[in-house]
Amino acid sequence: MLKCIAPLITFILLAGVAVDQADRQKAPEGVEAYQAQIREGVRSIPYIIGDWVGTDTEIRQDALRILDANCTLSRVYRNLRTGHTATLLLVQCADARSLVGHYPPVCYPSQGWNQRSAVPKSIAADGRTFESTEYVFGYDLLQQSNPLAVLHFTVLPDGRIAPDMQMLGVSARDRRQKFFGGASVQLIVDADLSDEERNGTYKLLIEAATPWVERVQSGIAR
Is the pLDDT confidence value at 6 over 70? no
Is the pLDDT confidence value at 193 over 60? yes
Q: What is the three-class DSSP state of 72?
A: strand
Select from 155, 173, 157 the least CA-distant residue to 165: 155
Q: How confident is the model at residue 144 (pLDDT cuts 50, 70, 90)?
A: low
In a domain, 14, yes or no: no
Q: What is the pLDDT of residue 1?
A: 45
Q: What pLDDT, in 10s, does the model give residues 34-92?
A: 999 999 999 999 999 999 999 999 886 666 566 788 999 999 999 999 999 999 999 99
In a domain, 100, yes or no: yes
In a domain, 17, yes or no: no
In a domain, 97, yes or no: yes
Share of the chain above pLDDT 70, in %: 82
Average confidence score pLDDT of the chain: 84
Q: What is the pLDDT of residue 68?
A: 80
Select from 201, 81, 101 the least CA-distant residue to 149: 201
Average pLDDT over residues 142-158: 87
Q: What is the three-class DSSP state of 57?
A: coil
Q: How confident is the model at residue 118 (pLDDT cuts 50, 70, 90)?
A: very high
Is the pLDDT confidence value at 12 over 70? no
Task: Identify the domain containing residue 56 by its residue range.
Answer: 29-217
Phi, psi of 190 (to 5 degrees): -70, 125
Q: What is the pLDDT of residue 161?
A: 95
Distance CA 173, CA 192 (A): 39
Is the pLDDT confidence value at 218 over 50? yes
Phi, psi of 163 (to 5 degrees): -85, 0
In a domain, 130, yes or no: yes
Structural domains counted in the chain: 1
Count of Cβ atoms closer than 10 Å to residue 158 Cβ: 18
